[in-house]
Structure formats: structure tokens, C-alpha cells
A = this chain, B = another copy of it.
Amino acid sequence: MQEINVGLLGMGTVGEGVARMLINNRELIRSRVGADVRLKRIADIDISRSQQIELENGVFTTDAYSIVNDPDIHIVLEMIGGQSVAKDLILKAMQNGKHVVTANKSLLANQGQSLFQAAHEYQVDLAFEPSVGGCMPIIKLLRESLVGNHIYSMTGILNGTCNYILTKITEEGIPFESALADAQANGFAEADPTMDVEGFDTAHKLAILTSLAYGMQINFKDIYIEGISRITPMDIRFADEFGFRIKLLAISKIGENAVEARVHPTMIASDNILSSVRGSLNAVTITGDAVGDLFLSGHGAGMMPTASSVISDTVDIARNILHKAIGRVPLLSYQTPNIKQIPVIPMEMISTHHYIRFSALDQPGVLSKISGILGNHNISIKSVQQKGRKQKGSVPIVMMTHRAKEASMKQALAEIALLNVISQPPTLIRIEDENDE
């Protein structure tokens, strides 16, 4: 029986899951692939990690380069993360003719182009299903299952930390800080939660998906990013009264020769299936010309779910090796010469419906001043409600607008914030409304 030798770089959470799966499910994988997919070497700079699972002698090393330079190894699994060492190891592995699986979304989002070029040059496979959505096969879906579809849009919950926190605020009415502390205590958020709660992790994933869905190169800096740290229980409660939930969404759409790509807290209808995605789960709705809406939900992070995607990629490559079919599916979903340059629409030019909350003094004429400024900027109000009771002399006023351009909204809010009847900066949350007007 043929052997495919695998080298694993990094024994963090996902790396450990991958090692467990390759060892414990080895027989299962053999019975499906018809070859032995063997975990030959594992590298981690922290030697204590060799104790995490039972390994044969000589499998563990602290020298990652001994793996990427090992002539017997066919596939390297990069589970280190970060952008410097990981990139160097991936490039060295590919230069040595090895195929690579990586979960490294920040590396792919920021420097993917040079990696894909190198894979092309050295004629190796570079797979990255585990970089987006944990166990959900979004990459395979875009590259293979929807291959005959023009993709119109994607809307995803791609960060479990944020969804866990928003679920806590929604269901328990606690403030962001308490929900974050809870997430940290339960292992759903890191000590430094910035990458997650400020939306960067979600944006990394959106960059990868956008590039695959439309066959384009995307500059990570062109993605609009806004996190969830300013979301309050009050806004979530008001949203609920209007029939909405608040989720941190990754949104990507293609129009005529331009795409939208943005990450921000978003109100969606309570009966939108994305609203039912609770806790640390991830989900995505992909819309294509033939399929309509296709929805996928599952564990977007964690040891074993992410490992499952690493194994899926590893087996795909093993099958390509066994059938001499490397490069069978183009890395970026389209053949390289067909990858397009499509401009990303600046956030200021995007139109959405808006939820706006003002803290205003409870005086006559306030509403007329606010609506006057909105009117000057061509923003039309759909509904307005004075909510709840006075807080420190102010009352919350909540408005839902018709579709309005981001730039106009920003200018109007800046003017409104200067009114002496306004006691706090206004809160703005964008609405994705399926029943668009």
C-alpha cells in the first residue's frame, strides 16, 4: 500500500487536533483513500508539547526546517500562525516540492498573492480550507460545488468569539465588557481579544472568500472593518423590538464591475436563518444564480472541527498525489489567467438602511432639528420612536432610515452630534434588509 508522509508544523490547539485525528482515525482514512496517510514528523519550538499526545520515538522535533527539508515528506501542514516564520516555512516547503495545507488566514489575507504565485511556480498544491469557518467546507463549496454558478453575494458569521459575545448580550442583557470577560473565562476569547472583537479576523476570512467567489485579487486594506465593542444591550433590545438581531457580519456582494466587502455589526431580520446561529457557531449564506441561497453552519473554530478541515485538504492532496493530478482544482477557484482585477467600492459609497440612536435632551423641537439635518442630506426616515425613560436628563431616540449612502449618513451624524440638545455621539448600526426598498 502506498504511503503519503505528512509533516505537521505547530502543536497548538489545531495542530494537536490534527495529530489526534491522523493518529486515531488513520485506519478510517486509509479505508477511504486507499493509501496510508502517515504523520511522520511534528515540529514545535515548545518541547513540552510533545507530551500532549502519545507519539512514537523520533516523530517530535523542535526544528521545523528539518520537516520542510525532509525529502520523504509529501505534505506539510502549517499550523503555526503569524506572518513571518510561517511564511518562510511554507515557501521553503513549496520550493522543496512539498504540498502545503495552512490554516493561516492573516497570512493568506495579507500576503496570499506571493504564496499562490510560489505554489504555481513550484507546481504544488496549497490548500486552506481550515483558514475560514473551522469545519465548514466553504472553500470547497466555492471552488467545486458552486463551480457553475455566478456568485452574487455572501453573508457570514465568521468569528465565534464575536457571535458568543453578541449572543450573551442578547440573551442575558449584560454589557459588552461582561460578555467579553465571560467569553475569556470560557475559552471563547483570547487574553488580547482585539483581532476578534474589532473584526480583523472576520475581515481576513472575508478577503479569502471574496477572492474565491468572484475570481479576483483583493487588497485587504480595501475591506471596511468595524468591530462589536460599542454594541450595547440597549441597542440589542431596541433591535429586537423592530424584529431584528445584531450580528457581526462579513458581507460581500458583486455588482457591475465592482464589489462590496465589509465587516460590521449588522441588524438582520429575526427570521433570517443567520439570526438563529447562537454562541460560538459560525455560518454563511452564499447566493448564486443557480442555487439561490445556500446556508451552512457549524463550529467555526476549536481543536477538532478545524482539524477536520485540515484532514479534508490533506486527503484531497493525497488523492491528487496518488493520481498525479496536482493542480486539479485551481487554487483560487479560477484559472490563473482568468483572475480579474475588480475594484472594491469604498464604504462611503455604499447604501444601506440604518438604525440610529440619539441621546437627546427631552425638549420640544429636538426631533425637528435632527430630521431637518437628515433631510438636508437626503436621508429619508422610515420610523422614529422615543424609547424608554430619561437617563441623566436625556432620552434615547431611535430612527430607522430608508436606504441612504454611508457618506451622507456620516456627514449628517457629525452635524447632529454638534447640536447642543445631543448629549452623546449617535450610535449607527447598518441594516441588511432582504425586503429591500
Contacts and interface: CB of A to CB of B under 8 A. Distances in A.
A270 B138 CA distance: 27
B319 A304 contact: no
Contact of A135 (B150, B292, B334): B292
Give the number of times this chain occurs in the complex, counting copies.
2
A399 to B, nearest CB: 30
A296 B299 contact: no
B304 A298 contact: no
A291 interface: yes
Number of chain A interface residues as a range: 35 or more
Interface in A298-325: 298-299, 304-305, 307-309, 311-312, 314-316, 319-320, 322-325
A4 to B, nearest CB: 13
Nearest to A340: B31
Interface in A131-188: 135-137, 140-141, 144-150
A298 B292 contact: yes
Interface in A247-300: 271, 273, 276, 288-299
Interface in A16-68: 17, 21-22, 25, 28-29, 31-34
Interface in A385-420: none
Nearest to A327: B323
A330 interface: yes
A316 B329 CA distance: 9
Given A291-B305, A298-B293, A319 B329 contact: yes
A338 interface: yes
A428 to B, nearest CB: 29
Given A290-B17, A328-B325, A335-B34, A145 B149 contact: no
B295 A298 contact: yes
Contacts of A319: 325, 328-329
A215 interface: yes
A202 interface: no
A333 interface: yes
Contact of A312 (B136, B144, B295): B144
B290 A298 contact: no
A315 B34 contact: no
Contacts of A140: 137, 140, 144-145
Interface in A62-102: none
B294 A145 contact: no
Given A276-B273, A335-B34, A28 B325 contact: no
Nearest to A295: B297
Contacts of A291: 135, 298-299, 304-305, 308
Contacts of A338: 31-32
A309 B141 CA distance: 11
Contacts of A288: 308
Interface in A307-363: 307-309, 311-312, 314-316, 319-320, 322-325, 327-330, 333-335, 338
Given A148-B314, A149-B308, A295-B297, 10 more contacts: A22-B148, A25-B290, A31-B335, A32-B147, A34-B330, A135-B294, A137-B140, A147-B312, A293-B299, A323-B323
12 contacts: A25-B149, A32-B215, A32-B330, A32-B333, A32-B338, A147-B312, A148-B312, A276-B276, A290-B311, A295-B296, A319-B325, A324-B324
